[in-house]
Amino acid sequence: MQKLVSQNFKSLQGEITIPADKSMSHRAVIFASLANGKSVIRNFSDGQDPYSSLKICKQLGIDITLDNSTVTVNSNGILHAYDNSLDCGNSGTTMRLMAGILAGQNFNSVLIGDLSLSKRPMRRVIEPLLSMGADIQSTDDHAPLVISGKKLHAINYSSKIASAQVKSCILLAGLNAEGKTIFTEPYTSRNHTEILLEHMGANIETDKTSVCIEKSELAPVDIEIFGDISSAAFFIAAALVVPNSDIILRNVGLNPTRAGILEVAKQMGANIEILNQREICGEIVGDIRIKYTEELKGCEISGAIIPRLIDEIPIIAVIATQAKGKTIIKDASDLRNKESDRISTVVTELKKLGVDIEETPDGMIVNGQTELKGGCEVETYHDHRLAMSLYVAGLITKKEILINDFEWVNISFPTFENLFEKIKS
């Protein structure tokens, strides 16, 4: 589907509720499937990725119903073999978390994914799982993953990369392994797994960048999923760069291990305010008010903050196009392993719009305060976040832009454009 983005509005005004967090939706349905009892998950994400997790849990024999956005899971915590491949679609979270669970079952499974997921690296989960006693065959460390279930034992593992998917995979394997599993990462990545597992009664403890877990039974959960900061990010960016905008985003997750974009926005001098801060199942949630900020300043983004904003780098690059001076993004080479090589695809497509941007091995450099010309076609490379970032850039180009294969936004955010239509005034 091609999407024409034009500048037929004056500014962004009003309030919207941000749809459910994708990371939390995956975890809620997967962990509820491992729990003993009835779990209720309200406001489950309508993205395709979390649905892949839900469908696989069902195929593994768990009684799950989806009624509007409410998911009810009735489980005794025991999974059963599925006599076909389990299809993770485009979702790296589904594949990596399920690998950790399936490695320790008393049956065999095969995890497959779409073309893009089949190109993403799986060595990062295969290696630690093998050292726990798992038996996993792959094609050159890529999906399909052929898993022969084994009894696992605990490990003390130091990961070279800060990755919540790798951490969650090993913690879920550790939940069903003999002994104490310790996972350490160089910087703290999103900690939704740790918070939700603890909330559901797991024996889990965090000490700086290490997490320790022991074999535990999970209690069912009753949770209302809050809004996704990674989806909110597109509206934050749009309001900052479209003159005279003033919007409020309701019910957004503000977990500090996810909300790096707010730290960066503050550093850039953005006019942002947090309202109604509250807590849901151990997670911080609030409303965000954003006003157009004429005097944004470029900044350096590197080191420990990278995992806290890893999914927001494409849209931060769009904000940086309007900031004064240079924005330098470093230490983000893992961006090359996402739904597309996000260093190369972001730089290539923003250049087409007239952005002064340069690719580096582990990031990019954006020279700000450029007028975006537009008047061209851009590509999404089957990457939902690139599609949405280009849409936001298209709101401030001089001429209309045409985004090819825009339907990839459905991976995480089917109502993306409708919500933008609501606040264009």
Closest CB to ligand S3P among residues 164, 396: 164
Count of other CB atoms within 10 angstroms of residue 345:
25
Distance between CA atoms of residues 137 and 135, nearest Å: 7
Closest CB to ligand S3P among residues 241, 281: 281
Smallest distance, ligand S3P to C-beta of residue 326, A: 25
Using the Cα atoms of residue 133, residue 136, residue 140 and residue 142 in order, give the sign of their dihedral. negative
Q: Which of the residues 21, 46, 49, 311 is marked catalytic?
A: 311
Reading the block at residue 304, the tokens are 């420990």
Closest CB to ligand S3P among residues 23, 389: 23
Closest CA to 181 of 129, 107, 145, 121: 129
Closest CA to 350 of 319, 326, 384: 319
Closest CB to ligand S3P among residues 33, 168: 168
Closest CB to ligand S3P among residues 165, 188: 165
- 222 three-class SS: strand
Tell me if the bond preceding 186 is cis, omega within 30° of 0: no
Closest CB to ligand S3P among residues 232, 247: 232
**Contact between residue 363 and residue 391 where contact means Cβ atoms under 8 Å apart:** no
Smallest distance, ligand S3P to C-beta of residue 402, A: 27
Closest CB to ligand S3P among residues 193, 293: 193
Smallest distance, ligand S3P to C-beta of residue 80, A: 25
Smallest distance, ligand S3P to C-beta of residue 166, A: 6
Distance between CA atoms of residues 216 and 56, nearest Å: 22
Distance between CA atoms of residues 317 and 380, nearest Å: 15
Q: Which residues contact ligand S3P by CB under 6 A?
A: 23, 93, 163-165, 168, 189-190, 310-311
Give the chain's end-to-end CA distance (angstroms, integer).
25
Taking each helix axis from N to C end, the angle separating 22-34 and 48-59, rounded to the nearest 10 degrees, works out to 10
Active site residue 63: no
Smallest distance, ligand S3P to C-beta of residue 233, A: 12
Closest CB to ligand S3P among residues 247, 318: 318
Write out the DSSP string of 174-217.
HTTSBSEEEEE-SS----HHHHHHHHTT-EEEEETTEEEEE--P
CA of residue 292 relative to chain centroid, distance: 26
In angstroms, the Cα distances linking 390 to 163, 264, 328 are: 26, 20, 20
Smallest distance, ligand S3P to C-beta of residue 310, A: 5
Smallest distance, ligand S3P to C-beta of residue 242, A: 26
Could you tell me where the beta strands, DSSP code E, fall in 185-329? 203-207, 210-214, 222-224, 246-253, 271-280, 283-291, 300-301, 326-329
Which residue carries 């535990």 as its tokens? 216
Smallest distance, ligand S3P to C-beta of residue 162, A: 7
The Cα angle at residue 52 between residues 380 and 232, in degrees rounded to 5 = 55
Catalytically active residues are: 311
